[in-house]
């Protein structure tokens, strides 16, 4: 190392480095800075003793304060649950009708049902509950198995055609074509008749022939006028809603091969309170039916009261 050089003006030793004639002074670090630096090191060592820090083969040191972010989270979740307790307790004990009629409980149930819905139901019914081909739209007023609170809860609990649950809602449409019950002409005629039921474009002659087939084969489940039967999950063929599609080809396909939509039973997977909240949420989407006798239709000029 060369001789230490000194700055002419200040007399301070320089580092010996020079850039375009500018030299760097080698001033010592300020004492307060040094001590602060040492203090932070001591502080950090203390920190590693108090808090989880040193990595070991299986995990890390726990720290003598026993801090754990996982425990913190569990605690906050627990707190949140306890805050909800006064509502969930009531949801558990009150009847669906009472929950529906109590504004506070209704609001809580709809919110809780919504969060259960987005976890468990969106995969089939969609995030807006608008359904898809084969998966019913839950916003409309067409219910295959009934749209009262009790009906919806039953469907949620036990599912539809879900074999693992003995109480599941069950029915099976025969595959008229595949099983050879009807021939292609009969199926085509029946499809024309089904089209005519909901006023869609159809061939009147074929529909007339199809009416006979319909009366023999279909009325047991779909009713003499095609109005459907909720006890068997048989859809109404007179309304504007088609679960699989209302065009001629789809109807022919449905009659030929039948349909077998399955919904799992949620009774074993979700607790009773969650199912109740889901029920109220689904019911609130706009198509929910009242279990009480339907009120008289309001006249055009009568204002409807809000809940």
Partner 1 sequence: MLQRPDILPPPEVERASVTPVNKRETRSLYKARVKIYPKRVHGFFRSLKWQIMAVTLAIYYLTPWIRWDRGAGAPDQAVLIDMPARRFYFFFIEIWPQEFYYIAGLLIMAGIGLFLLTSTVGRAWCGYACPQTVWVDLFLVIERWIEGDRAARIKLDSAPWTFDKLRKRVSKHTLWVLTGVATGGAWIFYFADAPTLAARLAHFDAPPIAWITIAVLTATTYMFGGLMREQVCTYMCPWPRIQAAMLDEDSLVVTYNDWRGEPRARHQKVQQETGQAGGDCVDCNQCVVVCPMGIDIRDGQQLECITCALCIDACNGVMDKVGKPRGLISYATLKDYNASTRKAPVHTSLRSFIRPRTIIYVTLWSLVGLGMLFALLTRDRLDVNVLHDRNPLAVRLADGTIRNGYTIKILNMKPVPRDFTVRTEGIDGALMTTAGSAAAGAPRLLVAVPRDVVHVLKVYVSASPRALAETETPLRFVVEERGGGESAIYDAMFARP
Q: Distance between CA atoms of 45 and 50, rounded to whole angstroms?
A: 9
Instruction: By CB under 8 A, tell whether 300 contacts partner 1.
Output: yes
Count of positions (residues) in the chain? 307
Establish if 123 lies at the interface with partner 1 (CB under 8 A). Answer: no
d(CA 22, CA 36): 31
Handedness of CA 228, 231, 234, 239 (dihedral sign): positive
**Does residue 292 interact with partner 1 by CB under 8 A?**
yes
CB of 213 to partner 1, least distance (A): 25
Is 304 a residue that touches partner 1 (CB under 8 A)? yes
Specify the residue, 84 or 291, whose C-beta has the smaller distance to partner 1.
291
The contacts of residue 94 (CB under 8 Å, 6+ apart) are 102, 105
x/- binding map, residues 133-152, to partner 1, per CB under 8 A?
A: ----x-xxxx----------
Instruction: Provide the minimum distance between the beta carbon of 228 and partner 1 in the complex, in angstroms, as a whole number.
Output: 10
What ranges make up the beta strands (E) of 11-138? Answer: 14-19, 22-25
Q: Closer to partner 1 at the Cβ: 6 or 238?
A: 238
290 forms part of the interface with partner 1 (CB under 8 A): yes
Maximum Cα interatomic distance, the chain, rounded to a whole number of Å: 118
Cβ closer to partner 1: 7 or 140?
Answer: 140
Shortest gap between Cβ of 117 and partner 1 (angstroms)? Answer: 12
Closer Cβ to partner 1, 169 or 283, answer by number: 283
- Name which of 4 and 128 has its Cβ closer to partner 1: 128
Please select the residue that binds partner 1; options are 87, 106, 145, 162, rule is CB under 8 A. 106
Binding mask 53-92 for partner 1 (x = CB under 8 A): ----------------------------------------
Sequence-distant (≥ 6) Cβ neighbours of residue 187 within 8 angstroms: 176, 177, 252, 255, 256
Binding-residue total with partner 1 (CB under 8 A) = 34
Cβ neighbours for 222, distance < 8 A, ≥ 6 positions apart? 214, 228, 229, 234, 235, 236, 237
If binding is defined by CB under 8 A, does position 239 make contact with partner 1? yes
198 neighbors 240 (Cβ within 8 angstroms): yes
* Chain Cα centroid distance, residue 304: 32
Pick from 130, 175, 181, 211: which binds partner 1 (CB under 8 A)? Answer: 130
Q: Using CA atoms in the order 84, 90, 92, 95, what is the torsion angle rounded to 10 degrees?
A: -140
Restricting to residues 258-287, which ones interact with partner 1 according to CB under 8 A? 284, 286-287
**With binding defined as CB under 8 A, does residue 100 bind partner 1?**
yes
State residue 14 phi and psi, 5-degree precision: -100, 165
Q: Is residue 236 a contact residue for partner 1 (CB under 8 A)?
A: yes
Angle between helices 149-158 and 272-284 (to 10 degrees): 130
Under the rule (CB under 8 A), what is the footprint of partner 1? 100, 106, 126-130, 137, 139-142, 236, 239-241, 284, 286-288, 290, 292, 294-295, 297-298, 300-307
């Amino acid at each position: 190392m060369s001789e230490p050089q000194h700055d002419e003006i200040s007399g301070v030793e320089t580092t010996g480095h020079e850039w375009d004639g500018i030299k760097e002074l080698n001033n010592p670090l300020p004492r307060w800075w040094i001590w602060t630096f040492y203090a932070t090191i001591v502080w950090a060592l203390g920190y590693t003793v108090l808090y989880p820090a040193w990595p070991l083969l299986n995990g890390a040191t726990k720290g003598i304060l026993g801090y754990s972010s996982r425990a913190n989270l569990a605690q906050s979740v627990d707190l949140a649950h306890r805050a909800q307790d006064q509502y969930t307790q009531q949801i558990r004990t009150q009847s669906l009708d009472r929950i529906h009629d109590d504004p506070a409980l209704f609001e809580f149930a709809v919110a809780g049902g919504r969060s259960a819905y987005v976890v468990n139901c969106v995969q089939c019914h969609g995030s807006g509950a608008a359904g898809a081909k084969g998966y019913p739209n839950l916003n409309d007023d067409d219910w295959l198995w009934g749209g009262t609170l009790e009906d919806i809860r039953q469907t949620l609990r036990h599912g539809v055609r879900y074999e693992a649950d003995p109480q599941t809602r069950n029915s099976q449409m025969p595959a008229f074509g595949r099983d050879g019950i009807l021939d292609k002409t009969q199926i085509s005629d029946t499809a024309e008749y089904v089209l005519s039921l909901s006023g869609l474009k159809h061939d009147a002659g074929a529909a007339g022939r199809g009416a006979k087939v319909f009366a023999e084969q279909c009325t047991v489940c779909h009713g003499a006028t095609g109005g459907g039967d909720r006890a068997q999950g048989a859809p109404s063929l007179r309304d504007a809603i088609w679960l699989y599609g209302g065009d001629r080809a789809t109807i022919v396909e449905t009659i030929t091969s039948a349909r077998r939509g399955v919904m799992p039973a949620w009774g074993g997977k979700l607790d009773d309170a969650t199912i109740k909240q889901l029920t109220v949420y689904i019911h609130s989407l706009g198509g929910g039916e009242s279990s009480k006798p339907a009120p008289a239709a309001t006249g055009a000029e009568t204002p409807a009261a809000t809940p």
